[in-house]
């Protein structure tokens, strides 16, 4: 059963695919429906071409990518996402009507194979408009899941494997990329692998496997590798790790107004983070992408180091130091500066 509401329907940007000189595809999720919105450099003949809104955005993306200006890139993507989410409201209400039975629990298979619609952002008489693409007469694709092989490291490790239908979705943290799930009654976190994330997921898997093998006593406050989600002929869907129960204020260190936190508390967090990174390095593990946003504060007010997908973030680690011990130490120094200790 569904209902039409005068309130805007909430959507989340799941993925953005763009490159210098290429088109841009923005994927939005609304009520478990997936909407892929194209910004094309070659609009249809019946729509505006010179100085079109979508072309202006594409040029901004080009500039940000060429100059490696991550702030401008994020700002432009946020603007596009906001515009598209607003323009898509009539389509959301038609195709992703609200489910009144909120007790209904989705499984991971339903998320992977959710109905997917192809749309395109166009300029009509100088105004932006989203139109449906008639790929098969309706603009609907029933599955966008791209099969990936199970990582070699996973194939050689005795870890539990679960099909997507056995993984119940409790909460979506970041679109359908990171979710709180239940597997046989146990709450975990699932990180999904796709063609955009699979390299990061593969790196995280290998790091967590190495940490698991090190058998730290006491265990480090790092998510534990709990299992693998695979479908069909060992098609890799994602990894299952410890779900961290967050602090009541906020779970992400980078989102805390640090000036409101007492100095002794900040010093405790700094000491915990430093201790964890030192032990990781002694075990031959590099964190990668060290920053305050990759530190969680749990219900006991202790810090957890998360996200071993690698990379770097401006103002935290220099790109030439990405995925190195020196990069981790630079990131640690930046975190200390953030904490004011």
Task: Find residue 39's DSSP bridge partners.
Answer: 24
Q: What is the pLDDT of residues 74-113, one digit of tens each?
A: 889 999 999 999 999 998 888 877 554 555 667 888 777 7
Count of other CB atoms within 10 angstroms of residue 203: 18
pLDDT at position 83 is: 92
pLDDT at position 134 is: 62
Distance from C-alpha of 287 to C-alpha of 277, rounded to nearest angstrom: 7
Q: What DSSP string runs through 183-208?
A: ETTEEEEEEE--TTTHHHHHHHHHHH
Tell whether the model's pLDDT for residue 140 goes beyond 70: no
Alpha carbon 58 to its chain's center: 22
pLDDT at position 14 is: 74
What angle, 0 to 180 degrees and rounded to 10, lies between the N-to-C axes of helices 325-339 and 263-282? 170
Q: What is the pLDDT of residues 294-312, one digit of tens each?
A: 999 999 999 999 999 998 8
What 3-state class would DSSP assign to 316? coil
Tell whether the model's pLDDT for residue 291 goes beyond 90: yes
Tell whether the model's pLDDT for residue 153 goes beyond 70: no
Give the lowest-confidence range in 149-153, 208-212, 243-247, 313-317: 149-153
Task: Find residue 167's DSSP bridge partners.
Answer: 183
């Amino acid at each position: 059963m569904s209902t039409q509401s005068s309130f805007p329907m909430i959507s989340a940007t799941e993925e953005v695919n763009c490159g210098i000189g290429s088109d841009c595809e923005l994927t939005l999720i609304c009520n478990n429906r997936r909407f892929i919105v194209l910004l094309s450099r070659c609009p249809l003949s019946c729509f505006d071409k010179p100085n079109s809104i979508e072309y202006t955005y594409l040029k901004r993306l080009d500039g940000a990518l060429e100059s490696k200006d991550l702030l401008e890139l994020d700002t432009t993507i946020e603007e596009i996402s906001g515009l598209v989410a607003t323009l898509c409201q009539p389509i959301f209400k038609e195709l992703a009507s609200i489910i009144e039975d909120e007790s209904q629990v989705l499984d991971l298979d339903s998320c992977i194979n959710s109905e997917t619609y192809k749309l395109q952002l166009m300029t009509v008489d100088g105004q932006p408009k989203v139109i449906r693409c008639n790929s098969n007469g309706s603009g609907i694709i029933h599955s966008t899941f791209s099969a990936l092989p199970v990582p070699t490291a996973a194939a050689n490790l005795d870890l539990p494997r679960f099909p997507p239908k056995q993984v119940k979705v409790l909460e979506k943290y970041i679109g359908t990329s990171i979710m709180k799930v239940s597997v046989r009654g146990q709450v975990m976190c699932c990180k999904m692998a796709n063609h955009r994330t699979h390299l990061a997921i593969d790196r995280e898997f290998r790091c967590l496997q190495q940490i698991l093998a090190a058998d730290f006593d006491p265990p480090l406050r790092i998510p534990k590798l709990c299992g693998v989600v695979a479908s069909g002929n060992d098609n890799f869907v994602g990894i299952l790790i410890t779900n961290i129960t967050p602090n009541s204020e906020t779970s992400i260190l980078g989102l805390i107004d640090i000036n409101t936190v007492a100095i002794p508390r900040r010093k405790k967090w700094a000491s915990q983070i430093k201790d964890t990174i030192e032990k990781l390095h002694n075990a031959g593990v590099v964190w990668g992408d060290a920053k305050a946003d990759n530190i969680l504060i749990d219900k006991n007010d202790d810090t957890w180091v998360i996200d071993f997908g690698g990379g770097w973030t401006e103002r935290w680690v220099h790109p030439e130091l990405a995925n190195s011990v020196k990069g981790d130490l630079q990131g640690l120094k930046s975190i200390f500066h953030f904490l004011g200790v």
